[in-house]
Amino acid sequence: MSKSQSYLWNRILEVNKEIKQTQDALERWEKQLLLQVLIRQLKEDMGEEAYQNFIESSRKLLNPA
């Protein structure tokens, strides 16, 4: 994973956590839009197949039980 990919992934985890913690609907919506942009950037940087494999292996970090 490159530095830019690592940064994007860490930012995705951070924003995902913030979405779960916020109560304000507008703030949640803004963070969801930011999350979509970050995910798109990571996907473009990694390539489709590598991105899918990475997400499958990291799913627990996105949705902790």
pTM of the entire predicted model: 0.83
Confidence of residue 60 (pLDDT cuts 50, 70, 90): confident
- pLDDT at position 64, please? 61
Longest Cα pair distance anywhere in the chain, in angstroms? 35
- Distance between CA 22 and CA 24 in Å, rounded? 6
Burial class (CB in 10 A: 0-12, 13-18, 19+), 2: exposed
The gap between the terminal CA atoms of the chain, to the nearest Å, is 26
- pLDDT at position 61, please? 78
* Mean pLDDT along residues 1-19: 93
Long-range CB contact pairs, 16-23, < 8 A, 24+: 16/62
